[in-house]
Amino acid sequence: MGLENRILNNIDIKFAQADKPKPDCWFEFGTLWADVSNKGDVDRIKQAVLDKVNADCDVQVSKLHATDREPWDQYAFDIVDKIRG
């Protein structure tokens, strides 16, 4: 939970520095989820995660497209091993 809190705090900082509203982000079963609407926000979140994890790690981003039931895009950010991807 400590790493998750540090990552969420770093996301808050990155968005405040960019003078942008904080996105809705949360962790579920080790995956960071975010409701964001543009590539710049996705990149900002990815960098916030990378800033807090080991240099041997990378962040894999997956996009879940909007549906009729949930008319917004959602992104999942998974921390993965750079060597194995």
Angle CA(76)–CA(17)–CA(29) in degrees, nearest 5?
A: 20
Average pLDDT of the residues in 60-79: 94
Say if CB 52 and CB 5 are below 8 A apart. Answer: no
Tell me, what's the pLDDT at 1? 66
Which pTM does this prediction carry? 0.91
The one-character DSSP state at 78 is E
Residue numbers of the domain that contains 50: 2-81
**Which tens digit of pLDDT belongs to each residue from 12-63?**
999 999 999 999 999 999 999 999 989 999 999 999 999 999 999 999 999 9
Q: How many domains does the chain have?
A: 1
Q: Which helix (H) or strand (E) holds 14?
A: helix 2-17
| Alpha-carbon gap, residue 57 to 19, rounded angstroms | 28
CATH number of the domain within which 62 lies? 3.30.70.990
Q: Does 85 score more than 60 pLDDT?
A: no
CA-nearest of 35, 75, 34, 78 to 59 is 78
